[in-house]
Amino acid sequence: MKAQESIHKFAPLPYAYDALEPYIDKMTMEIHYDKHHRAYYNNFMAAIKGTELEKTPMLDIFANISAQPVGIRNNGGGFWNHEMFWNCMKSNGGGAPKGKLGDAITATFGSFDEFKKQFADAGAKRFGSGWVWLVVGKDGKLFISSTANQDNPLMNIAEKPGIPVFCLDVWEHAYYLKYQNKRGDYITAFWNVANWDYAQKLYEEALAKNK
């Protein structure tokens, strides 16, 4: 019998390693994608090998993650979070979100600058390794949260669950080669490569799902 093929694929990086220079350096992108992200994917695939999870969508796995071994939570999260993160950035990114997401951010946080401040704060205050998220809650409202390690707001263990529409990796490996201990500088640089079109798309999908 032919081994069943998993639905989970390691996606290509949507741009070149040097595309986000000078904000995110080429070496960091290469190691981050080709070593860290790939290792999460490989470890995740090894952990689910021969189980029905090979055919289970990630969102369904996360919705029941507390029932799974911690290796699936850690590596599945690392696999999924990084793919989303790559898409949340692009060369010539930055600026401010437009459309419905721009309106919702202003309505929720008062202004885009105030949103940025709260998002950056959440990134600075995450102690140890983790992520910052802009999330749509069940009530359709936006909120900012941060998670430890490779957890995310889709997991049923999340303190503040919801559908993430934008994210930032604040593990030290995301910035240490260029910024070392200066996580704040990395977060400031990140705004220059933010892909708001992608966040806007995820936001509209999240609202449609919540209907």
Half-sphere exposure (CA, 13 Å, Cβ side) for 94?
A: 12
Q: For another protein, give the closer residue by CB, 174 or 199.
A: 174
Q: For another protein, give the closer residue by CB, 66 or 180.
A: 180
Q: For another protein, give the closer residue by CB, 186 or 198.
A: 186
Phi-psi region of 185 (alpha: psi -120 to 50; beta: other; left: phi over 0): alpha
Sole residue written with tokens 């990630």: 58
Q: Which residues bind another protein (CB under 8 A)?
A: 31, 35-36, 39, 70, 74, 127-130, 148-150, 171-173, 176-177, 180-181
CB of 21 to another protein, least distance (A): 18
Q: For another protein, give the closer residue by CB, 106 or 188.
A: 188
Phi-psi region of 47 (alpha: psi -120 to 50; beta: other; left: phi over 0): alpha
- How many helices (H) and strands (E) would you count in the chain? 9, 3
The whole-angstrom separation of Cα 206 and Cα 204 is: 5
The whole-angstrom separation of Cα 104 and Cα 190 is: 21
Q: For another protein, give the closer residue by CB, 38 or 201.
A: 38
The DSSP call for residue 60 is H
CB of 127 to another protein, least distance (A): 5
CB of 184 to another protein, least distance (A): 12
CB of 23 to another protein, least distance (A): 18
CB of 39 to another protein, least distance (A): 7
